[in-house]
Amino acid sequence: MSHLKVYQYPKCSTCRSAVKWLKEQGHELELQHIAEQPPTVEELRVLVADSGLPLKKFFNTSGEVYKELALKDKLAGLSEDEQLELLAGHGMLIKRPVVTDGKKVTVGYKEEQYKEAWSSAE
């Protein structure tokens, strides 16, 4: 199977489930602690582009930091650069896990999505 980079928070049960599933599929994983070492603005730019998802899908809207910063009301008014800066500056703002093989990206964990994205990976 392939080498995947996983931006994750080790205490997050969703991340643990995703990592377990990926390991069971035989993937070699490079785990990066999303709070201690969040992706940079440039890394995020590439991840967003490769994911095909709108930038807002990268925000952990149910997290404490999102609520503390009152982003529900502010996010729409921020530029893309400002949103990327926020994500890069607050790893816990990023919806997790983020998984990439350098070509495609998944955000969050749903087993069906993972089967489609990561089962047939070479």
Main-chain phi, psi angles of 29, to 5 degrees: -115, 140
Tokens of 48: 């967003």
- Backbone dihedral region of 9: left (phi > 0), alpha (psi from -120 to 50 degrees) or beta? beta
Task: Considering the candidates 4, 6, 12, 48, report the single residue annotated as catalytic.
Answer: 12
Main-chain phi, psi angles of 32, to 5 degrees: -125, 125
Active site residue 15: no
Residue type (1 letter), 88: A
Q: Known catalytic residues?
A: 12
